[in-house]
Amino acid sequence: MQMTLNMLPRLRGGGSLKITRTVSPSFHSLFSRSPPSRLLSGAPVDAVGDDLLLQHSPPPPVKPLIPTLLQPRVVVYDGVCHLCHQGVKRVIAADKHRKIKFCCLQSKAAEPYLRVCGLDREDVLRRFLFIEGPGLYHQASTAALRVLSYLPLPYSALSTLLIIPTPLRDAIYDYVAKRRYDWFGKEEDCLVLKEKEMLERFIDREEMLDQNRSDS
């Protein structure tokens, strides 16, 4: 509210009235050190009264997108399969620069990766999954060759097999995948728990260790 001179009390004899205002220290603690003029809803407001409190509402929380939370270059595979486990061991041994990370399909940590790719566990049991980056994932023979492309020579040279038509490559992959349990066997729990030195390359290592402690 603005105050005009006519509203001020007049003193007899034409004297002037000096008005002083005492501001409590606690008032300044409500504001940062900035110029007296502030913007509220787009219009300037002069902070001249003790009763004027500018309350800034916190911005609404922003819901993060799933892809921004996921790590790139992650292999999601059947952790109880002996053939799959041996393949993971060989990749870890060859991947000197630690470019590739791993996650057992049986763990809860695999769920957001499956969701963002629009897959379920049965899909990945048939064909393992390689999430190369946001919006880019592969399965079956293409996934295997894309993983090899990140490894040093001579392994990366095998990625040239991508020139072979996908249906032909996947036909061979599917033939072996359907028979892998009969030929190589499987376990009840993820095999990486038997070789814990590998867990540092797994994004679900904490979950695996917790599971191991609860079972023991």
Q: Mean pLDDT lowest for which of 26-35, 139-148, 175-184?
A: 26-35
Return the structure tokens found at 82: 């002996």
User: Could you tell me if residue 161 is inside a domain?
Assistant: yes
Q: How far apart are CA 100 and CA 97, in angstroms?
A: 9
User: Could you tell me if residue 9 is inside a domain?
Assistant: no
Q: Mean pLDDT lowest for which of 32-41, 66-75, 123-132, 167-176?
A: 32-41
Residue 186 in this model has a pLDDT that exceeds 60: yes
- 95: domain range? 66-215
User: Could you tell me if residue 112 is inside a domain?
Assistant: yes
Q: How many domains does the chain have?
A: 1
Confidence band of 40 (pLDDT split at 50, 70, 90): very low
User: Could you tell me if residue 178 is inside a domain?
Assistant: yes
Q: How far apart are CA 37 and CA 59, in angstroms?
A: 22
Q: How far apart are CA 188 and CA 168, in angstroms?
A: 32
User: Could you tell me if residue 10 is inside a domain?
Assistant: no
Q: How far apart are CA 38 and CA 42, in angstroms?
A: 9
b/e per residue, 98-115, with b = 16+ CB within 10 A? eebbbbbbbbebbeebbe
